């Protein structure tokens, strides 16, 4: 309690400082929320590149109207956090090997300062220069799952995790851990070896659940999957136990020991992460790789829905009054983006948006009720494909063309990472409910021509610099920027 009061005071002090710096020159903290592999690092790289180097951005009005004087990287506000290495991510994407950036293993931060002319000044030619400071944070998506733990005690978490592991997809991969668990008596005296074996087997289960084939989303604790600087630390030597619905842990028992470690994980790992990076956000974009889940089947989709709902309930969304904006600002603009939309033909983008809207329906309702502006978009931060049409018999089929990554396969063909191919990506169902049903999307798509319509991973696009600058192609990145920060650039 005391800790959280002190924290509120710190946030308030910071907000006051920001306010004193002039409401004319706002600082916005953009929260990028997304489970692992959702596309956060790629999005942030493309966003920073577009802000600082421009590109084809007709829907980003301040830029399209020529009112952005300059946008540059600036020293970040928190010295203790590493810098988001936008240059090396960009070099990976646009270098000779055209690689996607590596999965993120630690937190990083970056500040972009945009000098612009306000629309009124611009029109009246007075040109009063104004400045927007934008702070962004990148982190491993696995850590986000932990936010859902903040509202669960050890018993609740244990029981939920156990129940979930009985699902059709999970049961086989959880078998080894469950077999060991069955040999443990929670009330027996504490036993370090037993705790360690349980933690290892539990972790192996979580890792198996993340494989592409299964693509499960709700697998906290996140540091079991991506330990960061906690690798090998005793802070991660715990696992759920089959504890009774009532009663307390006997002193000195295995149960008491696991409970203590779970609580300390929340206090020393999860809370500081949330407090330092998410408690004070002004704008939020939630990136969702809905296609990966659709691809893995209805259980993965249902899982994604649960994970997003759990995670989003940790945030505060709504319209700010002057008090909240000073003391504890709420997220007043919230955008849900279905990423990697370049895996589909544009004729399916509306359907992808509809599916995402359905997946995060509860969070949208809550945020809109609080007065926040909410939107949904099908986005490709970096577009790796182009569209074409192919003739099959008498039919013209809409296809996408790109270079699959080396080792990707389709219909028994394995790609070499160089050859360009055209694929018919399949249609998403018009009714989002169909995508969520057990016989849902995949069953249908596969049966239509007997082919394998799994989404293929493409390499980043081949690009030629224009006057020394590479502009990354995208789908609706400009619309995304306009929604998230356009109102601060008026």
Ligand X SMILES: Nc1nc2c(ncn2[C@@H]2O[C@H](COP(=O)(O)OP(=O)(O)OP(=O)(O)O)[C@@H](O)[C@H]2O)c(=O)[nH]1
Q: Which residues bind ligand X (CB under 6 A)?
A: 34, 36-42, 100-101, 103-104, 140-141, 339-340, 342-343, 380-382, 384, 457-458
Tell me the three state secondary structure of residue 275. Answer: helix
- 112 with 74: CB under 8 angstroms? yes
Note the residues at the interface with Mg ion (CB under 5 A): 40-41, 104
Q: Which is nearer to ligand X, 71 or 380 (CB)?
A: 380
Pairwise CA distance, residues 227 & 72, whole Å: 33
What does 455 interact with, of ligand X, Mg ion, none (CB < 5 to 8 A by kind)?
none
What is the enclosing helix (H) or strand (E) of 5?
helix 2-20
What does 39 interact with, of ligand X, Mg ion, none (CB < 5 to 8 A by kind)?
ligand X
Residue 262 backbone phi and psi in degrees, to 5: -60, -45
Tell me the three state secondary structure of residue 138. Answer: strand
Torsion 373-375-380-386 (CA) sign: negative
User: Minimum Å distance from CB 433 to ligand X?
Assistant: 27
User: Minimum Å distance from CB 34 to ligand X?
Assistant: 5
| CA distance to 321, 386, 398, 426, 428, per residue, from 344 (Å) | 41, 10, 10, 8, 9
User: Minimum Å distance from CB 429 to Mg ion?
Assistant: 30
| CA distance to 169, 249, 427, 431, per residue, from 435 (Å) | 18, 43, 11, 7
What does 300 interact with, of ligand X, Mg ion, none (CB < 5 to 8 A by kind)?
none
What does 219 interact with, of ligand X, Mg ion, none (CB < 5 to 8 A by kind)?
none
User: Minimum Å distance from CB 141 to Mg ion?
Assistant: 7
User: Minimum Å distance from CB 40 to ligand X?
Assistant: 3
Q: Which is nearer to ligand X, 132 or 219 (CB)?
A: 219
What does 27 interact with, of Mg ion, ligand X, none (CB < 5 to 8 A by kind)?
none
Q: Which residue is nearest to ligand X (CB)?
A: 141
Selection from 462, 471, 380 nearest residue 54 by Cα:
471
| CA distance to 117, 151, 188, 255, 256, per residue, from 247 (Å) | 64, 19, 15, 11, 12
Q: Which is nearer to ligand X, 225 or 355 (CB)?
A: 225
User: Minimum Å distance from CB 377 to ligand X?
Assistant: 12
What does 428 interact with, of ligand X, Mg ion, none (CB < 5 to 8 A by kind)?
none
Q: Which is nearer to Mg ion, 384 or 400 (CB)?
A: 384
């Amino acid at each position: 309690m005391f800790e959280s009061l002190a924290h509120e005071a710190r946030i308030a002090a910071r907000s006051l400082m920001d306010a004193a710096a002039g409401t004319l020159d706002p600082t916005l903290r953009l929260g990028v929320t997304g489970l692992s592999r959702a596309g956060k690092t790629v999005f942030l790289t493309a966003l920073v590149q577009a802000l600082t180097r421009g590109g084809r951005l007709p829907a980003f009005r301040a830029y399209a109207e020529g009112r952005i004087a300059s946008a540059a990287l600036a020293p970040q506000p928190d010295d203790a956090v590493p810098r988001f290495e936008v240059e090396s991510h960009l070099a990976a994407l646009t270098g000779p090997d055209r690689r996607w950036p590596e999965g993120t293993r630690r937190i990083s931060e970056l500040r972009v300062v945009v000098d612009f002319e306000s629309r009124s000044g611009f029109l009246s030619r007075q040109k009063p220069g104004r400045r927007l400071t934008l702070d962004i944070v990148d982190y491993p998506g696995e850590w986000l799952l932990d936010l859902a733990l903040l509202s669960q005690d050890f018993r609740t978490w244990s029981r939920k995790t156990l129940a979930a592991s009985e699902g059709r997809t999970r049961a086989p991969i959880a078998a080894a851990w469950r077999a060991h668990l069955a040999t443990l008596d929670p009330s027996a005296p504490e036993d370090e070896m037993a705790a360690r074996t349980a933690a290892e087997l539990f972790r192996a289960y979580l890792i198996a659940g993340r494989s592409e084939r299964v693509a499960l989303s709700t697998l906290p604790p996140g540091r079991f999957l991506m330990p960061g600087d906690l690798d090998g630390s005793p802070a991660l030597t715990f696992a759920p136990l089959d504890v009774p619905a009532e009663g307390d842990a006997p002193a000195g028992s295995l149960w008491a020991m696991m409970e203590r470690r779970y609580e300390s994980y929340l206090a020393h790992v999860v809370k500081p992460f949330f407090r330092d990076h998410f408690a004070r956000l002004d704008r939020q974009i939630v990136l969702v790789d809905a296609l990966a889940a659709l691809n893995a089947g209805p259980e993965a989709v249902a899982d994604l829905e649960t994970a997003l709902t759990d995670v989003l309930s940790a945030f505060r969304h709504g319209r700010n009054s002057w008090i909240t904006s000073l003391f504890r600002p709420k997220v007043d603009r919230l955008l849900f983006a279905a990423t990697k939309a370049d895996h589909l033909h544009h004729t399916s983008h509306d359907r992808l948006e509809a599916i995402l809207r359905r997946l995060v329906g509860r969070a949208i309702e809550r945020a809109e009720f609080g007065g926040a502006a909410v939107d949904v978009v099908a986005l490709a931060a970096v577009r790796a494909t182009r569209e074409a049409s192919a003739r099959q018999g008498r039919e013209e089929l809409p296809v996408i063309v790109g270079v699959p990554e080396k080792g990707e396969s389709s219909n028994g063909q394995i790609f070499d990472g160089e050859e360009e191919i055209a694929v018919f990506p399949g249609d998403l169902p018009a009714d989002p409910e169909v995508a969520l049903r057990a016989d849902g999307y995949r069953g249908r798509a596969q049966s239509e021509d007997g082919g394998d319509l799994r989404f293929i991973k493409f390499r980043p696009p081949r690009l030629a610099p224009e006057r020394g600058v590479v502009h990354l192609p995208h789908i609706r990145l400009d619309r995304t920027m306009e929604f998230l920060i356009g109102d601060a650039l008026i």
